[in-house]
Amino acid sequence: MQIKEIIGIDVSKKVIDVCIHTQKKIEQFDNNNSGFRKLLEWGSKNNIFSLKETFFVFEHTGMYSDSLADYLNKKKLNFSIIPGLEIKRSLGITRDKEDKIDAKRIALYAFRLREELVVSKILTDDLKQLKPMLSLRKKLVKQRAGYKATLKEQKRVYSKKQYKLIFEIQEKVIREFNKQI
């Protein structure tokens, strides 16, 4: 596929800011299926190339960008999800943080690297479920380690008789973490 146009998208929790690179058109849509449908309508109307000749590029923002990726994938459109740090490093030091400007920067970044862009692949449903579970497990392990370290230190410093309840509560919490992890 020859990329003729880039649409850069800054994804946030509630909205997506979108920039058509060569047309320098910027618009904002809701971050949901209705907003994505409006994005494609607007993109078709304001783009001199077809959506099949257009490459959508956006930052990986976890659960906030997953639904956009799913939507574009179902529509069989080409898109690439880029790590945010990669985009930031390529642009150097920037002063302002504004979503419309970020969409423009993402479009510029992708336009410069359009020959190297790779179409992103969507994870299977099983892997989509596994990712947040692994993330949760990682958090639980970290919290358990924090409780263990605190308890160990408190047992070293405090009197067992005077702080018995505090020790018992923390030990119970640690046992619950052990069951879940």
pLDDT tens digits for range 21-45: 999 999 999 999 999 999 999 999 9
Contact 23, 4 (CB under 8 A): no
Check the CA dihedral 69-73-76-79 and report its sign: positive
Per residue in 77-131, pLDDT tens? 999 999 877 877 776 655 556 767 889 999 999 999 888 888 888 878 788 788 8
Following CA atoms 164, 166, 168, 174 in sequence, which dihedral angle do they give, to the nearest 10 degrees? -150
Specify the DSSP class assigned to residue 31.
S
What pLDDT is recorded for position 131? 82
CA dist 152 and 44 (Å) reads: 62
Is residue 97 located within the same domain as residue 30? yes
Q: Tell me which of 96, 122, 148 is where a domain ends.
A: 122
Count of the separate structural domains present in the chain: 2
Contact 57, 8 (CB under 8 A): yes
The one-letter amino acid code at 44 reads: S
What pLDDT is recorded for position 22? 93
Residue 8's pLDDT band (cuts 50, 70, 90): very high
Is residue 118 located within the same domain as residue 134? no
- Facing residues of 54 across strands? 5
The one-letter amino acid code at 122 reads: I
Round to the nearest angstrom and report the end-to-end CA distance of the chain. Answer: 45
Q: Tell me which of 85, 105, 122 is where a domain ends.
A: 122
Is residue 54 located within the same domain as residue 141? no
Domain range for residue 150? 126-180
By residue count, the chain amounts to: 181
Residue 4's pLDDT band (cuts 50, 70, 90): very high
Q: What is the reported pTM?
A: 0.74
Q: Tell me which of 122, 142, 170 is where a domain ends.
A: 122
Mean pLDDT of 5-34: 96
What pLDDT is recorded for position 97? 63
Specify the DSSP class assigned to residue 124.
P
